[in-house]
Structure 1
Amino acid sequence: MPKINGNEIRPGITVEHDGGLWAAVKVSHVKPGKGGAFAQVELKNLRDGRKLNERFRSEDKVEQVRLETKDQQFLYETDGMLVFMDSETFEQTELPADLLGDRRPFLQDGMTASIEYYGEEALSVQLPQKVICKVVDTEPVQKGQTAANSYKPAILDNGVRIMVPPFVGPGEDIVVHTELMEYSERA
C-alpha cells in the first residue's frame, strides 16, 4: 500500500489508521499563527461507522488503501442483512442493512449496486445516484402555479417523504437523487 503525506488526504480517500480502515469525510487545511500547518480530517470507520477527528501534519505518513469495487445485484433482505449476488460468479454477499441508513428504502429488488471490498471483506454499498420512484400522495396540481422555488411535500411508493415541485401530481414517476434524497426531474 502506498504511503502518502498527511496534507495529501482528500475527502473520499481510504486510509489505514490506528489499526482500522477509515474513509476521509471532511478535510480542512489549517495554518495557525504559531506552529506548522496541518490537515484537520474527519474520518469514518468503514467497519463499525465510528467517527474520529484527527490532525495530520505534512510530515506524517499514512497508508492509503485501495478498495476494489464490484457491481452486484440486490436479491433480498433477511434478518437485517442485505443479500447481493455477483452476476459473474453467482457468489452471494451479505451486508448489514444499517450500512445504508436512511437511504435503505431506495434499494429495490433486482437493483445493481456497487459494493466496495478490502481483500475478501465487503465494507460498503453505493446505490445508483438516481432512482425512479412513483409519487403516491401529494397535494393536487395547482393551475397557473409556477415552479418558482415553491415545493410541496410528497410521499413516494417506498414510504420516503420528499419535497417536489408544484406541477408533480399523484401517480407520476419522478427521478430521485439518492445521496441528497431530493427530487431531480420527471421520469
Structure 2
Amino acid sequence: MPKINGNEIRPGAILDHDGGLWAAVKVNHVKPGKGGAFAQVELKNLRDGRKLNERFRSEDKVEEVRLDLKEQQFLYETDGRLVFMDSETFEQTELDADLLGDRRPFLQDGMTATIQYFGDEPLSVQIPQKVKCRVAETEPVMKGQTAANSFKPAILDNGVRIMIPPFVGPDEEIIVHTELMEYSERA
C-alpha cells in the first residue's frame, strides 16, 4: 500500500491507522505561528463506526488504502442482514443493515448499490443519490400557500417523513435526495 505524508490527507481518503481502516471525514490544515504545520483529521472507523480526532504532522507517513468498488443488486433482507448479488458472478454477499443507517428505507428490491471491499471484506454500501418514492400521505393544499417558499410534511411509501412543496399531493411520485433526506423534484 502506498504511504503518503500527513499533509496529503484529503477528505474521503481511506487510511490504515492504529490497526484499523479509517475514512478521513474532515481535514483541517493548520499552520501555527510556532512549530511545524499539521493536519487535524477527523477519522471514522469503517468496521465499527468509532470516531477519532488525530493530528498528523507533514513529515508523518500514513498508509493510504485503495478499496475495490463493485456494483451489486439488492435481493432481500433477512434477520437484519442485507443480501446483495454480483451480476457477473452471481455470488451473494450479506451485509449488516446498520451500514446504511438512516438511508435504509430508500433501499428497494432490485436496486443496484455500490459496495466497497477491502480484499474480500465488504465495508460499506452506497445507494444511488436520488431515488423515486411515492407520497403516501400529506396535508391538502391551502389556497395562497404557493405564494411563499413553503413546504408541508409528508410520509412516503417507505415510512420516511420529509418536507415537500405544497403542489405535490398524495399518490404522486417524487425524487428524493438520499444523502440529504429531502425532496428533489417530481418524478
Shorter chain as denominator, the TM-score bin is over 0.9
TM-score (norm 2): 0.97
Residue 156 of structure 1: CA displacement?
A: 0.3
Partner of 1:63: 63
Give the CA RMSD over aligned residues: 1.1
The reply to whether residue 77 of structure 1 matches residue 66 of structure 2 is: no
Amino acid at match of 1:10: R
**Residues 81 and 40 (structure 1), Cα distance of their counterparts in 2 relative to 1, 3 Å cut:** same
Partner of 1:103: 103
Partner of 1:23: 23
Structure 1: gaps spanning 5 or more residues:
none
Residue 146 of structure 1: CA displacement?
A: 2.4
The reply to whether residue 10 of structure 1 matches residue 5 of structure 2 is: no
Give the alignment of 1:172-183 within 5 angstroms: 172-183=172-183
* Matches of 2:149 and 2:47, distance apart in 1: 40
Residue 30 of structure 1: CA displacement?
A: 1.5
Partner of 1:152: 152
**Is the CA contact (8 Å cut-off) linking 1:142 and 1:167 kept in structure 2?**
no
Amino acid at match of 1:105: P
Residue 150 of structure 1: CA displacement?
A: 1.0
* Matches of 1:141 and 1:169, distance apart in 2: 8
Stretch moving more, 33-42 or 19-28: 33-42
* Matches of 1:4 and 1:48, distance apart in 2: 24
Partner of 1:126: 126
Count of residues paired in the alignment: 187
TM-score (norm 1): 0.97
Stretch moving more, 121-130 or 26-35: 26-35
* Matches of 1:7 and 1:137, distance apart in 2: 50
Stretch moving more, 27-36 or 10-19: 27-36
Partner of 2:86: 86
* Matches of 2:39 and 2:154, distance apart in 1: 41
Amino acid at match of 1:71: E
* Matches of 2:7 and 2:116, distance apart in 1: 25
**Is the CA contact (8 Å cut-off) linking 1:174 and 1:186 kept in structure 2?**
yes
Structure 2: gaps spanning 5 or more residues:
none
Residue 148 of structure 1: CA displacement?
A: 3.7
**Residues 149 and 34 (structure 1), Cα distance of their counterparts in 2 relative to 1, 3 Å cut:** farther
* Matches of 1:49 and 1:66, distance apart in 2: 19
**Is the CA contact (8 Å cut-off) linking 1:151 and 1:165 kept in structure 2?**
yes
